[in-house]
Chains A and B, each alone.
Chain A
Amino acid sequence: MDALTLIRDFVCSHSEIDREKVVPEAVLAEVGIDSLMLLEVMFEYEEKTGVKLPEDLPTPVTVQDLIDQLDRLAPGSAS
């Protein structure tokens, strides 16, 4: 599963926000992902991929920021 799909699925299951509003340039807080929900998204990502996210990740502002972070840490990623 790619990171954008995971984020969209999460938003649709936790809020009334439409899936199509979860676009890369959207601000996370404006699509219902506040600091608390960000922890839950990261937990879901770890559960689904087996990747342990580091504790010191910078706080992402937009959906694209979060996608970039998750993609960099995804299995098979070069970094």
Chain B
Amino acid sequence: MSKAPRRVAITGLGVVSPWGSDVDGFFDRLLAGQSAIRHYTTDDGHLSMSMPAVHCPEFDAAREVGRASAAMDRSAQMSFAASSQAWRQSGLPISEQPDRGAAVYWGTALAGTLTYEQGYREMLLKGRERVPPLSLILGMNNAAASHLAIHFRLGGPCLTYTIACASAAAAIGEAWQAIRDGRCRMALTGGADSPMSLAVVRAWEALRVLAPLGERGAEAACRPFSSDRAGLVLAEGAAALVLEDWEHARARGAEILAELAGYGSTCDASHLVKPSADGQYDAMNQALANAALAPADIDYLNAHGTATREGDPIEIEAVRRLYGAHAAGLAVSATKSMHGHLMGATGATEAVVCVQALRRNAIPPTAHLERLEPACEGVEHIRGHGVERTIRACMSNSFAFGGSNSVLVIRQPSGD
């Protein structure tokens, strides 16, 4: 006879954001409808970058990570800083020996792209024949997860998920599944990316999906669901969550911030970049079913909402189909309009937004949404400024190039 699935508590949160490494401050800015998007420029001749983007100028690796940051890529430094906040909030001790019941499930799309690009620059532009020995260790995709496992003595599975823009949501969901099945007792999960390498930016530009500066300036460059939306905005940052077996968290008297209640994972299996409403619908439906919730139980949807011409209407089509009669009253926002698209980290950042929405009973808006795209009608778009609202449960969507769809359902930590 199989054991009953375990419930999963969220007991710690952390972020590295453009407004600093502070979850409450980050969420306050979002509630106020403030955009962190700025005109990002580099001065490098014909290799210069100039675009709307979200950078974290206040992030100080030496202060937030310490000297060990010298052996980390920027995305790993951000991973470490966000995780340290989440761990502190959880109140968990660091064990002396590796804890086999404790895991790392991390997400990143681009990991050490800055390290690799630095190597290319040294060789191709400066004529050097070699790169520092640490380059491989800094740049490998699982570098961040390994640093976290070593520092926090997490001796269970140490896994890195890289499925483009759904990476962190998948990492969180797979951690949920592992705890739910009893394969581990707790997990440090989330994601990070620092994507502003020239090669990555040029590749995104070539796809013609990056938002231009436009007449309204950088701050308003990302306008999900708007009839004049013009593309996505690259962002760097990190977010972390501590997940625990519910009974473990209760037994040690931890404050349970929210319950991670459901996860859905599908692949469109149809096209590398064109999203499918069918695949998204099925992922959302799975997440609801796993959470044993009905559409009417969800009070807020943090949409994937990247502000691409093609993506936004397809997501809303899938949402309308799933939520049916409840769709018109479902509060929806795309916070990428303010914090940008953190690539592999975006699912973790938006999961943190959802937990904060539950804790504060407040919903952040989609910024700069003045003229709603007719094809995106049919849900309650929260626009301009945040609203106070009783929230029982949230859904967070993350959809990726490659067709991967990862959906999380997070609810109030009620009941025993």
A residues within 8 Å of B by Cβ? 12-16, 36-37, 39-40, 43
Q: Is the CB of B133 within 8 A of A13?
A: no
Establish whether residues A14 and B67, one from each chain, have CB atoms under 8 Å apart when the complex forms: yes
Contacts A36-B137, A39-B133, A40-B132 given; does A16 touch B71 at CB 8 Å: no
Whether B70 and A13, one on each chain, are in contact in the complex, defined by CB atoms closer than 8 angstroms, is yes
A12 nearest CB neighbor, chain B only: B67
- Does B217 interact with chain A (Cβ within 8 Å)? no
CA gap between A40 and B71 in the complex, in Å: 10
Complex CA gap A36/B70 in Å reads 13
Within 8 A of A (CB), among B127-171: 132-134, 137
Residues of B within 8 A of A (CB): 66-68, 70-71, 132-134, 137
Contacting residues, chain A, for B67 (C-beta < 8 A):
12-16
Which residues on B sit within 8 Å (CB–CB) of A39?
133-134
Q: Does the CB pair A36–B133 fall under 8 Å?
A: yes
Chain B proximity of A8: nearest CB distance (Å): 13
> Contacts A14-B71, A36-B137; is A43 near B132 (CB within 8 Å)?
yes
Show 18 A/B contacts (Cβ-Cβ < 8 Å), sorted by A. Answer: A12-B67, A13-B67, A13-B70, A14-B67, A14-B68, A14-B70, A15-B68, A16-B67, A16-B68, A36-B133, A36-B134, A36-B137, A37-B71, A39-B133, A39-B134, A40-B134, A43-B132, A43-B133
A16 CA to B62 CA, complexed, in Å = 11
For B66, B133, B134, which residue has the most chain A Cβ atoms within 10 angstroms? B133
The 6 closest A-B pairs by CB, nearest first: A39-B133, A14-B70, A40-B133, A40-B134, A43-B132, A13-B70
> Nearest-CB distance from B146 to chain A (Å)?
12
Complex: A43 Cα to B133 Cα, angstroms: 7
CB distance from A35 to the nearest CB of B (A): 10
CB-defined contacts of A12 to chain B, threshold 8 Å: 67
| CB pair B66 A16 closer than 8 Å | yes
B residues less than 8 Å from A14 (CB atoms): 67-68, 70-71
A36 cross-chain contacts in B, Cβ below 8 A:
133-134, 137
Determine how close the nearest CB of chain B comes to the CB of A20; give it in whole angstroms: 15
Given A13-B67, A15-B68, A43-B133, 19 new contacts (CB under 8 A): A12-B67, A13-B70, A14-B67, A14-B68, A14-B70, A14-B71, A15-B67, A16-B66, A16-B67, A16-B68, A36-B133, A36-B134, A36-B137, A37-B71, A39-B133, A39-B134, A40-B132, A40-B133, A43-B132
Q: Tell me the bound Cα distance from A39 to B133 in angstroms.
A: 6
Q: How many angstroms from the CA of A39 to the CA of B134 in the assembled complex?
A: 8
Complex contacts, B70 vs chain A, CB 8 Å: 13-14
Residues of A within 8 A of B133 (CB): 36, 39-40, 43
Q: Which residues of A contact B134 (CB under 8 A)?
A: 36, 39-40
Q: Which residues does chain A contribute within 8 Å of B71, judged by CB atoms?
A: 14, 37
- CB proximity of B170 to chain A, nearest CB, Å: 30
Instruction: Provide the bound-state CA to CA distance between A37 and B138, in Å.
Output: 12
- In the complex, what distance in Å separates the CA atom of A15 from the CA atom of B134? 15
A39 to B132, CA, bound (A): 9
Considering the complex, give the chain B residue whose CB is closest to the CB of A47: B132
Contacts of A13 in B (CB 8 A): 67, 70
Please name all residues of chain B whose beta carbon is closer than 8 Å to the beta carbon of A16 when the two chains form the complex.
66-68
Closest Cβ of chain A: how far from B210's Cβ, in Å? Answer: 36
Smallest Cβ-Cβ distance to B134: which chain A residue = A40
In the assembled complex, how far is the CB of residue A57 from the closest CB belonging to chain B, in whole angstroms?
A: 14
B62 nearest CB across to chain A (Å): 10
Inter-chain contacts of B137 with A (CB < 8 A): 36
Kindly state the separation between the CA atoms of A13 and B66 in the bound complex, as whole angstroms: 9
Contact partners of A43 in chain B: CB under 8 A: 132-133
Which A residues touch B66, using CB under 8 A?
Answer: 16
Least Cβ–Cβ distance between B33 and chain A, in angstroms: 41
- The smallest C-beta distance from B132 to any residue of chain A, in angstroms, reads 5
Q: A40 vs B133: C-alpha distance in the bound complex, in angstroms? A: 6
- Complex CA gap A35/B81 in Å reads 26
In the bound complex, CA of A20 to CA of B68 (Å): 18
Q: Which residues of B contact A37 (CB under 8 A)?
A: 71
A40 to B68, CA, bound (A): 14
Within the complex, the shortest CB–CB distance from A15 to chain B, in Å, comes to 5
